[in-house]
Amino acid sequence: MSNLLRKTTTTTEDKKKTLQSVLHLVEELRSAGSPLAAKTYNYVINAYSKAGESHGIIPLLQQMEAENITPHRVFFEQAVELAGSLGEPVLQAHILHYMERHGYKKTPVIYNASLKCAKENMELERAIDILDEMKKCNIKPSMSSYSELIDLAVTFEEPEIAYELLLSAKLLKDFAEYEEPLYLNVLRSASYHYKHDIVKILWEEAITQKGYRPDEGLCLQVLNMTGKYADPRLASSVIKYIGSQGYTYREPHFQPLIQAFAQTGDIRSTFKLLHAMREAGVTPSKRTITSMSSIFAQDKSAITKAKAAIDEALRSDIKEIDILAVNLVIHVLASNGQCDEALSLYNRVMEAGVTPNEETLDAVLDSCIHSQDAALGEKIYNEMISKGISKTPSTLSKMVALMCTQEEYDDAFKYLEEMKHLDMIPYRGSYYKLVKTLAAAKDPRLNIALEDMKEYGHELSTHLQEYIEQYDESQYDEGENSAHISL
């Protein structure tokens, strides 16, 4: 009968049918009055395990207890494994209770099954407790258990725990079979949560040394983190990897690298990156240097370094000078009220043969607006337009604002009309500047400007409305005073 049970449990037919066949054979044994042995129950639990059904485990234990049969260790191991794979912690606890009553200590199989159960129930803390207990007993978890727990830690957004588990898993002999997906999984989690120290170590080990291949999304995530932590070395390594894999370079690849260099205070290297972008076929934009703008706002010495970097490049290698960097520095100088320095820098760069663009004109006009130098602004505007610089809504709107800095501001309307002729929508800021100028001058063309502004979809802000009313009231007061005087 034992041979028949063994043959039945090893059959390849439907596992649930196999279970029913085994249970039927056991009933035949009972009916025949044959005593059941612990080995018989091993066949039964094996059939339950293969069928993935756990409801018979406790009844089997109760039957053995009633028949004064001591279950074999393998019975408990299979029972605990079955409960663990199905994620049944209560059942698993009952089985362990029976096992302890029979004097069995927990084995590696039992511990790994307990870890499996914790993982199935998403109980990370319980899994960590089980691991600690295993360490105290000098029992090593299986590599598959580590793999599942690392996945669980990543799921719970615990990259530090995932990394510690990875370090422990590396000590196992069969780690090599699992390491690439585990490395990349933990690296992704650590980069997503900006765990800089972990990312640095994992990138060096997994990518630089072992040659594993993260996807482009993971590369971008690591790059974003390098920008936040000012790590140009790691950022450069990621950029190098992206190129080596044949990915097409894009602006988002370089933005974090530029941010990382800028935050270290190495402005010249930061500017060189703009040139490197163009050589890689990527045209930098204002978005590329957004992080640099914030650094200039926070660190006043940064603008001094930026001017020095441009001057040094003018002396050594003009190719290092990217017009985007020049535009940014001119704009920042103008915003800080250093208009003479802004215009001086512009002149030096133009004399060196650097080609300006529309944003260069905008930056210079910003400087002229701050210094209220309309004559110089018009001169530079006309020079650049004659050299092929395109008129843009931004440029013409700045010309409107520039004209409004003068007592004679009629030319502001000339540039507004030019925008209309070119089917451009004037910027709201230019209209606000014009409206304030007209209101302060009590110019009757104010209502026309307001109507124009509304036609272009620019709403009148509360602040601007109050500004206009302030001058309306002063006009009323003057009229009232005049009436009293005439009396």
Average pLDDT over residues 335-342: 92
Quick one: 263 exposed, middle or buried, by C-beta within 10 A (0-12, 13-18, 19+)?
A: buried
pLDDT value for 10: 60
- Amino acid (one-letter) located at 223: L
Average pLDDT value over all residues in the chain: 88
pLDDT value for 477: 45
pLDDT value for 484: 32
d(CA 101, CA 25): 29
User: What digits encode the pLDDT tens for the residues 389-400?
Assistant: 999 999 999 999
pLDDT value for 317: 79
pLDDT value for 485: 27
User: What digits encode the pLDDT tens for the residues 158-209?
Assistant: 999 999 999 999 999 999 999 999 999 999 999 999 999 999 999 999 999 9
User: What digits encode the pLDDT tens for the residues 21-75?
Assistant: 888 887 887 877 787 888 988 888 888 888 888 898 999 999 999 999 999 999 9
475 vs 412, higher pLDDT: 412
Q: How confident is the model at residue 272 (pLDDT cuts 50, 70, 90)?
A: confident
10 vs 478, higher pLDDT: 10
pLDDT value for 60: 92
Distances (CA, A) of 283 to 241, 251, 254, 323, 359: 20, 7, 11, 11, 14
Highest mean pLDDT among 19-23, 33-37, 299-303, 347-351: 347-351
480 vs 202, higher pLDDT: 202
- Amino acid (one-letter) located at 412: A
Contacts of 291 (CB under 8 A, 6+ apart): 227, 255, 258, 259, 262, 263
Q: Tell me what percent of the residues of the chain surpass a pLDDT of 70.
A: 94
Least confident of 8-12, 281-285, 304-308: 8-12
pLDDT value for 479: 44
Q: How many CA atoms lie within 13 A of 413 on its CB side?
A: 11
User: What digits encode the pLDDT tens for the residues 91-119?
Assistant: 999 999 999 999 999 999 999 999 999 98
d(CA 262, CA 267): 6
Which of 147, 145, 129 is closest to 137 using CA atoms? 129
pLDDT at 439 over 80: yes
pLDDT value for 475: 52
Q: Tell me what percent of the residues of the chain surpass a pLDDT of 90.
A: 60
Average pLDDT over residues 434-455: 91
pLDDT value for 33: 77
51 vs 480, higher pLDDT: 51
Average pLDDT over residues 308-314: 90
What pTM value is reported for the model?
A: 0.68
Answer positive or negative: Cα dihedral of 471, 475, 481, 485.
Answer: positive
Average pLDDT over residues 340-352: 94
Dihedral angle, C-alpha 343, 347, 350, 356, nearest 10 ° = 10
